[in-house]
Chain A
Amino acid sequence: MIHQGISSKKVTAWLLPITSDITVAVGEFELVHVLPEIPTLFSIPWTPSYCHQVLVWQERIIPLMDLGIRWKMPEKKVETIGLDSSKIGLFIYRVIANNSLDYGALKLSAIPQRCEVYDEWGCSLPAEWRDYARDLHSCFKEKSSSISIPILQLNEIFSVPGYDIQTEYFDTVFPF
């Protein structure tokens, strides 16, 4: 991808393949590490189905999330990644409540790709992503591509699940 503009600003990002159909992006410094192999995973009771396991990395306990399940993608896109073929990316984000740094892990279907994103690539969120807008910062579209790539809001994704106190209904999926 060659960009012709001279004055436009650009930033470096990581493209994260969530499934074969879904790619999202994070900022350059939000991706900390990609685990070369699947570590031991520990299941934690009373947790959402999209995030019910943890892994240990450098003496930290890090929750592992499957965004395909969280977003309840349309059937053809819900191909939960088998652990045998998936990668795990470790991410750092700032917790809004106390401004501290914390870590989260995401299941990926392939190794992340580094790319440069130009300001003018910004685009509106496609209709298919509107239900997940809370999890996303914004969206961009590469100049020669028709595919919009949402940018993850990691601090929102790894925050407390929304809970409706009136109905005691979680806007998340629990495995029970």
Chain B
Amino acid sequence: MRKADYHDPWTGSSSPARSYKEAGSASRISPTFVRAPEGLLASSVLRNVASRSAESAEGVKPSYSVIVRDDATPSQYHAGAWLSEALTELLDVDAEAQENGHEPPSQQAKNHAERILESLAPSGEGWPAPSVYPTSDREIAIFFRSDSRRASVLILCASDGQGACFAFADGRGRRARYEDAGEMPDAFVWEQLQKLR
């Protein structure tokens, strides 16, 4: 059972994420076409398609699929473009942790981060490209920031498998914690991300 609490740190009010989820607009991840205009993006997306296919062969049902084709619209291209850059940053987290003198995040944290990025990208049109980096707490951070809206969403995948989502919008902060980062992205995460558009 997931333990996830929605919390407003400025008012101190808390409520279970389950009821929050029921109250919010549930988001559904739809299969989306992503254009692959250059080698890096194509290889990243194709690698992920291959990875998901391999999981399927082992009996694990993929949660979504990305199909590479040439006739996607420019806006769809942008959503795919930040995925490519984000996955490239994810590959560099061990080196960055070493540079900063920190222990690197676990493989479990990396797997969660990769899956979350892949889940968000097909719907990520209009979002700013996220930063992906390791933290001193052995988390992987996925940080979206909208300069024009003065808003942000930080998703953390911890090395012990837990997760968290922090958001800042309209001058207020909100956060949710998850015993299993596999619960992300849930309705809370999607709702915070919508505020970046």
Chains A and B bind each other: no
